[in-house]
Structure 1
Amino acid sequence: MENTRKDVQGISRARFLAGAAAVGLAGAVLPSTSAAATGGRHGGLRHRGVVYTLGAGETPGTAWSAARMRRDIRVIRDELHADTVDVTGDDVERLTTTAAEVAERGLHLWLQPTLGDIPPKEILDLIAECGRFAERLRRQGASVDFSVGCEFWLFVPGIIPGETVLDRVDNLQKGNVDMAQMQRRLARFTAKAAAVGRSVFHGRLSYAAAQDEKFEPVDWNLFDVVGIDYYSYFRDHSDYIRELRGYQRWGKPLAITEFGTCAYVGAPQTAGMGWNIVDYTKEPNEIKGDPVRSERTQAAYLTELLDVFESMGLYAAMAFEFVTPDAPHRPDDPRYDLDLASYAITKPIKDRPDDPTSGWHWEPKEAFHALSRRYAQCRPQGPGHSQ
């Protein structure tokens, strides 16, 4: 990861998709469990959706808009044909406003506050606030899962040394971390977050963990649904299945809380590090090397993983992500086509490419159309899925 120091609020979630893989950590001890390995349910996924991130990388031109959000949620329902939206971000008002819209549109809501670089007590308070709102929606009849957060080791201060996300990643890369101590702190905070979630929300509770269990071991007995941010690449479907089977040993439903890749040749093979083709030390940011744009590559990877998830009958899978406003597509100049390093299934296009305050719109990538076809074929009808 780049060493440039930036405000974490201006850093896209996509740059931290595979933190554990990025720092190359291994060797931790997995939590013991007596749960028998399970084969999972069969007959396809229960929930198929997309991650909708709020407020990542805002500039005057990409500032959050309630009107834009409402249009996007309608598109997700009516054109993408998803039945689930993973609403995530660090602003409670935006989270709750978007969550209410998702529920109002009859979609399944996966609400996940992703809060970082504020005191842990404040994070727990905000988890409680979001959980109470999710419970109100659930009591009103909405279909809701609540996730208490994402990869706490990265976002919560005090687990790993460092004031900001970038400081913590830097310390991990340099080996300035006592792994056993880190995992004890992580386990304590995760248990506190789960307890807070349970105290305010009475539906299915989850958490989104990094997929490296040796680095981030989670006691899934604390939760109802196992949640994994998944970015593996294998040539053979059976290898995906073999890896995912490990998460089913807890005897809990398994949700893929993120999966995806970027739109260039070779991106899936980076196993979640596809964002690392941007030189963030330059202003404006610039694409490194000469990656070959390939929306077909992104679409093929997403549908391949969907085949795996469907075959295993997993609980849910949410493609990462719907749109990344701060990664505009520049077909006129590949050096600044930041959408190459985006995991989004749509491409933002500015009205005035060189103006940071410019208005913008998004257009669907091939991945959007590929998911749309698949989701339309599988989407259930009836209560909770009304159009």
Structure 2
Amino acid sequence: MQRNQGIKRAQFLAGMASAGLAAAVLPAGRAGAAPPGPRHHGVVYTVGAGETPGTAFSTARMREDIRVIRDELYADTVDVTGDGVERLTATAGEAAERGLRVWLQPTLGDAPERDILEHLAETGRFAERLRRHGAAVDLSVGCEFWLFVPGIVPGDDVFERIRNLLDGTVDPVAMQRRLDRFTAKAAAVGRSVFRGRLSYAAAQDDEVDWGLFDIVGIDYYSYFPHKADYVRELSRYLRWGKPLAVTEFGTCAYVGAPRTAGMGWDIVDNTKEPPEIKGDLVRSERTQAAYLLQLLDAFAAVDVYAAMAFEFVTPDAPHRPGDPRHDLDMASYSLTKTLKDRPDDPASGWHWEPKQAFHALARRYRSARTGRPRTR
């Protein structure tokens, strides 16, 4: 997951019928061989509160984004993640109304365990209501708990925990014990409120008891020069005999970003005001797009159940054309670039424009949509 950020339409339409959802968006598909790609192809959509008044959550903006995800990105799945039960449920409801498969993943962080589990329970109850109304929905109990749940790894926030891990100041045995305990709690809460398929978004090297879940979920940020290396690594996640969902994949838009193995966001000097990009990096949307397509090819080879590109938009990492030192979008994994009307005003309005990665995925996703019969 990208780390450079500080980390009510909540009811599904009562009259929605299962048959209506099934026919709402996707064509039935053509006969013949399906194009390469996961069975479900999607994007992560984060519903945080925003870091500034100008980037606060907007229901109207969210609805338009969900329309674009369906009609212009040609995704069939949206990974609705972030915190705030009302934001999560409003977005999941909108996606389901538009016929999209919903991967609903609450990620309340840096809060007491009790609050995190209650946040999960409330979100899971809504997911169950969607499921009962016929929506295609999977519930993930969270993302990389060692990073977001206090007490598993020492540190007051996400950044301190990452530093402690990188510095080797963490007791791995104790960390694993605490991680296992909380993961089991979260799985139990998920099961208690949701009757559909349950998952969790783990980091690549996490040790997880996948017996607790129906779908193996992995945030995947590896870099290899050859497709065969990806296939070899991904295949190890199939040993549990369960569907594999790539719950995040992507990279940033600068030369060399894919080689950072998920740390591409760590190029911002936040001690400066305004924050600056470190070094003399070269912006390259082409690099980002090529990496995404490379991974999709690998996912096809191991029959991945679902893959969600990280992420649709990152409002708090604006692009500054002509100002590479302050082009925070270079540290973003977003498929779109945020452009502020008034770059130095926290309350400024903004809009996004598609990057090359957006167009590359749209072409691939459109091919998958028109060539593959829809499955549930």
| C-alpha separation in 2, matches of 1:69 and 1:48 | 19
Select which of 71, 87, 109 maps to 2:102: 109
Q: Which whole-Å deviations, capped at 9, do the CAs of 1:300-320 have from their partners, x for residues lacking one?
A: 000111111122211000000
| C-alpha separation in 1, matches of 2:40 and 2:269 | 37
Paired position in structure 1 for 2:26:
none
Distance 1:43 1:237, change over 3 A: closer
| C-alpha separation in 2, matches of 1:82 and 1:383 | 12
| C-alpha separation in 2, matches of 1:111 and 1:349 | 28
Asked whether the equivalents of residues 4 and 331 of structure 2 are also in contact (C-alpha less than 8 Å), the reply is no
Q: Is 2:21 aligned against 1:15? A: no
TM-score, length basis structure 1 = 0.86
Select which of 56, 62, 69 maps to 1:69: 62
Select which of 277, 286, 290 maps to 1:287: 277
Give the SS at the match of 2:62. Answer: helix
Paired position in structure 2 for 1:369:
359
Select which of 206, 223, 234 maps to 1:233: 223
Output aligned runs, 1:216-227, within 5 Å: 216-227=206-217
Residue 15 of structure 1 deviates from its aligned partner by 1.6
Q: Which runs of 5 or more residues in structure 2 are unaligned?
A: 6-34
Q: Which whole-Å deviations, capped at 9, do the CAs of 1:11-40 have from their partners, x for residues lacking one?
A: xx51279xxxxxxxxxxxxxxxxxxxxxxx
TM-score, length basis structure 2 = 0.89
Asked whether the equivalents of residues 44 and 312 of structure 1 are also in contact (C-alpha less than 8 Å), the reply is no
Asked whether the equivalents of residues 106 and 384 of structure 1 are also in contact (C-alpha less than 8 Å), the reply is no
Give the partner amino acid of 1:239: D
Give the partner amino acid of 1:288: K
Q: Is 2:244 aligned against 1:247? A: no
| C-alpha separation in 1, matches of 2:156 and 2:343 | 34
| C-alpha separation in 2, matches of 1:224 and 1:377 | 28
Residue 57 of structure 1 deviates from its aligned partner by 4.5
Residue 198 of structure 1 deviates from its aligned partner by 0.7
Q: Which whole-Å deviations, capped at 9, do the CAs of 1:81-127 have from their partners, x for residues lacking one?
A: 00000000011110000000000000000000011111111111111
Asked whether the equivalents of residues 43 and 313 of structure 1 are also in contact (C-alpha less than 8 Å), the reply is no
Residue 355 of structure 1 deviates from its aligned partner by 1.5
| C-alpha separation in 2, matches of 1:345 and 1:186 | 31
Paired position in structure 1 for 2:126:
133
Give the SS at the match of 1:250. Answer: coil
Name the % identity.
74
Paired position in structure 1 for 2:31:
none
Asked whether the equivalents of residues 76 and 100 of structure 2 are also in contact (C-alpha less than 8 Å), the reply is yes
| C-alpha separation in 1, matches of 2:248 and 2:266 | 18
Q: Is 2:182 aligned against 1:189? A: yes
Which piece of structure 1 moves more, 350-359 or 133-142? 350-359
Paired position in structure 2 for 1:49:
42
| C-alpha separation in 2, matches of 1:232 and 1:239 | 10
Q: Which whole-Å deviations, capped at 9, do the CAs of 1:125-171 have from their partners, x for residues lacking one?
A: 11111111000000000000000000001111121223322332333
Q: Which whole-Å deviations, capped at 9, do the CAs of 1:288-332 have from their partners, x for residues lacking one?
A: 111111111100000111111122211000000000001111012
| C-alpha separation in 1, matches of 2:162 and 2:117 | 22
Residue 177 of structure 1 deviates from its aligned partner by 2.0
Residue 172 of structure 1 deviates from its aligned partner by 2.6
Q: Which runs of 5 or more residues in structure 1 are unaligned?
A: 1-12, 18-41
Which piece of structure 1 moves more, 288-297 or 49-58? 49-58
Paired position in structure 2 for 1:296:
286
